[in-house]
C-alpha cells in the first residue's frame, strides 16, 4: 500500500501564522504565509484508492510525509523561496506553440529576455528546442547554436538563467556559458548521460513529468489516477537524483501540465497541487498560454490566452507554488502583487 497526504483547508497571512503557532496548522511547502489545517489521506493498494479527511493534529500524529510538506524550502539558485518567483520564457525556436519564430533571431531573444527581467522576471528560461505536442527533436548542435549566445549575453548582464533542454551536451555547454539552472522536461530521463551530467555540473535542476515524447505525448494519454501517478513518477526521479548526488534542496518539480495529459488530467493536477508539496521540493508550475487554458476560456490563439494564464498562475501561487513559468511577466506580477497583498496584508509583498 502507498500512502499520500494532500493538504486541505488553506489559510493565509496572519491566520496562517496563528494556526502554525497554535499547532492547529502546518506551513504549506514551508511557506510563511500559507498554512493548511486539514489533510486528505489517500491510500492506494493496487487499483483501489481510499480517501478520508483528517485534521492537521491527526496528521501530525502519524503521517510520514508531514515533515516534507512543512519543511522550509531553501534558496533555489540563490533565490529565496519565501514568495513566488517568476520564470520568464524565452523560446529561441522557429516552432514553439505560442511564440515560434518571434525570437528566433538571437538579438531579438536577448532583447526579449532583458525586457522580461525589467518587467520582474526572477529567472529567464532559455530554450532552443520546441517541446510542443507533435514537435520533432532537433540536433544538439542546432540547439546550442540557437541558445548559447543568448545565455551568454543574459548571464553576462547578471540575470539568473535557466536552460530548457533534454540533452546532456547542451546542459554542459549552457552551464559553461553561464546558466544557473537546468530545466528538463524529461526529468533527466531523455538521455542516459543526463543524470550523471547534471550531478557533475552541480546546478539546481527542474524535473518535469511528461508522458511519452513530445511527438506522441498527446496520443490518448491514460492514467490510473493522474495526480498520484505523476507524484509517483516524480518521487522516483527525485530518488534517482539523490542516488546520483543531487540533493533534494537543489531539485524543483513540475507536474507537467499539458505534457501527455488530457483537459481533465490538467484540471485535476491544477486542483490538487498541494499534493506535490509531499515531495519536499520546490514546486514549479507552468501552464502559461497552453491549450488547457484556451479550452477553459475559449481562446483558440495561444497569444490571446494571457488572462486565463494569469488566473492559473494566481491559483498555483495560492496553492503554494514557489516558481511560476510564464510568458506574460508584467501581467502575472501585477496580478500576484494584488492577490498576495490580499492574502497576506502584513507580508512583504511579491
Chain segment 81-114, per-residue pLDDT in tens:
999 999 999 999 875 545 545 556 889 899 999 9
pLDDT at 64: 84
Distance separating alpha carbons of residues 181 and 163, to the nearest angstrom: 6
Number of residues written out for the chain:
350
Separation CA 259–CA 265 (nearest Å): 10
Chain segment 284-301, per-residue pLDDT in tens: 999 999 999 999 999 999
pLDDT score for 99? 52
With CA atoms as reference, report the closest residue to 263 among 237, 287, 242, 241: 287
Question: Do the Cβ atoms of 286 and 254 come closer than 8 Å?
Answer: yes
What integer pLDDT is reported at residue 102 of this predicted model?
58
Helix axes 226-244, 263-271, angle to 10 degrees: 70
How far is C-alpha 189 from the chain's CA centre?
A: 17
Active site residue 290: yes
- Would you state the pLDDT for residue 131? 74
Read off the C-alpha cell for 55. Answer: 485534521
Residue 97 has what pLDDT?
46
Does the active-site annotation cover 325? yes
Which of 290, 300, 330, 333 is an active site residue?
290
Q: Could you give all domains of the chain from N- to C-terminal order, each with its CATH number? A: 2-70 (no CATH), 85-343 (3.20.20.20)
Q: Residue 85: beta bridge partners? A: 323
Active-site residue identified among 17, 73, 211, 325: 325
Rounded to whole angstroms, the Cα distance separating 90 from 149 reads 13
Distance between CA 111 and CA 150 in Å, rounded? 9
Residues of the chain with pLDDT under 70: 95-104, 132-135, 212-217, 219
Amino acid at each position: 500500500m502507498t500512502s499520500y497526504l494532500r493538504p486541505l483547508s488553506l489559510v493565509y497571512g496572519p491566520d496562517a501564522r496563528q494556526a502554525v503557532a497554535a499547532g492547529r496548522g502546518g506551513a504549506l511547502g514551508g511557506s510563511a504565509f500559507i498554512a493548511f489545517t486539514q489533510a486528505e489521506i489517500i491510500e492506494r493498494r493496487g487499483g483501489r484508492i481510499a480517501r478520508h479527511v483528517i485534521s492537521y493534529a491527526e496528521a501530525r500524529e502519524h503521517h510520514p510525509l508531514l515533515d516534507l510538506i512543512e519543511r522550509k524550502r531553501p534558496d533555489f539558485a540563490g533565490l529565496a523561496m519565501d514568495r513566488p518567483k517568476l520564470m520568464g520564457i524565452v523560446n529561441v525556436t522557429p516552432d514553439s506553440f505560442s511564440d515560434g519564430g518571434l525570437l528566433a533571431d538571437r538579438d531579438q531573444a536577448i532583447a526579449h529576455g532583458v525586457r522580461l527581467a525589467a518587467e520582474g522576471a526572477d529567472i529567464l528560461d532559455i530554450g532552443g528546442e520546441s517541446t510542443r505536442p507533435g514537435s520533432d527533436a532537433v540536433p544538439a548542435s542546432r540547439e546550442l547554436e540557437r541558445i548559447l549566445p543568448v545565455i551568454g549575453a543574459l548571464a553576462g548582464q547578471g540575470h539568473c538563467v535557466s536552460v530548457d533542454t533534454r540533452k546532456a551536451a547542451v546542459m554542459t555547454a549552457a552551464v559553461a556559458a553561464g546558466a544557473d539552472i537546468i530545466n528538463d522536461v524529461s526529468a533527466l530521463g531523455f538521455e542516459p548521460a543526463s543524470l550523471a551530467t547534471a550531478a557533475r555540473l552541480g546546478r539546481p535542476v527542474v524535473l518535469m513529468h511528461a508522458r511519452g515524447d513530445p511527438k506522441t505525448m498527446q496520443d490518448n494519454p491514460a492514467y490510473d489516477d493522474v495526480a498520484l501517478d505523476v507524484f509517483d513518477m516524480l518521487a522516483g526521479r527525485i530518488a534517482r537524483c539523490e542516488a546520483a548526488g543531487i540533493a533534494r534542496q537543489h531539485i524543483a518539480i513540475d507536474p507537467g501540465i499539458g505534457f501527455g495529459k488530457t483537459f481533465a488530467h490538467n484540471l485535476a493536477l491544477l486542483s490538487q497541487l498541494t499534493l506535490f508539496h509531499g515531495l519536499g521540493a520546490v514546486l514549479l508550475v507552468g501552464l502559461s498560454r497552453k491549450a488547457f487554458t484556451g479550452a477553459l476560456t475559449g481562446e483558440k490563439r495561444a497569444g490571446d490566452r494571457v488572462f486565463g494564464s494569469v488566473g492559473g498562475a494566481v491559483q498555483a501561487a495560492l496553492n503554494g507554488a514557489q516558481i511560476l513559468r510564464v510568458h506574460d511577466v508584467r501581467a502575472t506580477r501585477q496580478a500576484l502583487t494584488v492577490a498576495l497583498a490580499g492574502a497576506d496584508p502584513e507580508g512583504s509583498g511579491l
